[in-house]
Copies of this chain bind each other. A is one copy, B any other.
Amino acid sequence: MELGHIDVTASEPTSAPDVAISGGHKRSSCEAVNSVLARVGDKWSVLIVMTLAHGPQRFNELKRQVGTISQRMLTLTLRGLERDGLVKRTVFPTIPPRVDYELTDLGHSLRQPIEALGNWAFDNYASIASARDTFDKTARK
């Protein structure tokens, strides 16, 4: 299988970027930030987190909500989120089996910054779209 090496790593220790994210902290925090950004930047993670915001959901329930995700990606994304401690997986040993996924406290705490980003996107998408139009019309020789 391909779990166990969900390496979000990306940045080798040698000559890592030393851009400061907010104030004075450098190197090591960047790995942390990048690693988290990789999660958030993931095509599905945010969607899942936001879908779970309202409460626990079952696997196929989740799949229906998101709509276009494949089981494979849903499983993989959920495992990743679970591994990071953002989502808790609960199995009910019934027949047929039932599995609930829900946000952990950590997962819920991520909603704040994510929603901030979401709101920014919502507020500024018009600007971005028009910037794109202009760029495409202008730059395309």
Check if A135 is an interface residue, CB within 8 A of chain B: yes
Residues of chain B within 8 A (CB-CB) of A85 are: 127-128, 130-132, 134-135
**Alpha-carbon distance between A16 and B66 when the two chains are bound, in angstroms:** 8
Check if A73 is an interface residue, CB within 8 A of chain B: no
Interface range on chain A: under 10, 10 to 19, 20 to 34, or 35 or more?
35 or more
For A10, A22, A134, which residue has the most chain B Cβ atoms within 10 angstroms?
A22
Q: Would you mind naming 7 contact pairs between A and B with Cβ atoms under 8 Å apart? A: A4-B139, A18-B65, A33-B121, A35-B125, A36-B120, A84-B128, A109-B120
Residues of A within 8 A of B (CB): 3-4, 10-12, 15-22, 25, 29, 32-38, 40-43, 46-47, 50-51, 65-68, 82-86, 106, 109-110, 112-122, 124-125, 127-128, 130-132, 134-136, 139-140
For A19, A65, A136, which residue has the most chain B Cβ atoms within 10 angstroms?
A19
**Alpha-carbon distance between A116 and B134 when the two chains are bound, in angstroms:** 30
**Does A67 contact B17, Cβ atoms closer than 8 Å?**
yes
**Does B15 contact A67, Cβ atoms closer than 8 Å?**
yes
Whether A37 touches B36, Cβ cut-off 8 Å, given contacts A106-B124, A115-B21, A122-B21, is no
**Does A125 contact B36, Cβ atoms closer than 8 Å?**
yes
**Does B118 contact A21, Cβ atoms closer than 8 Å?**
yes
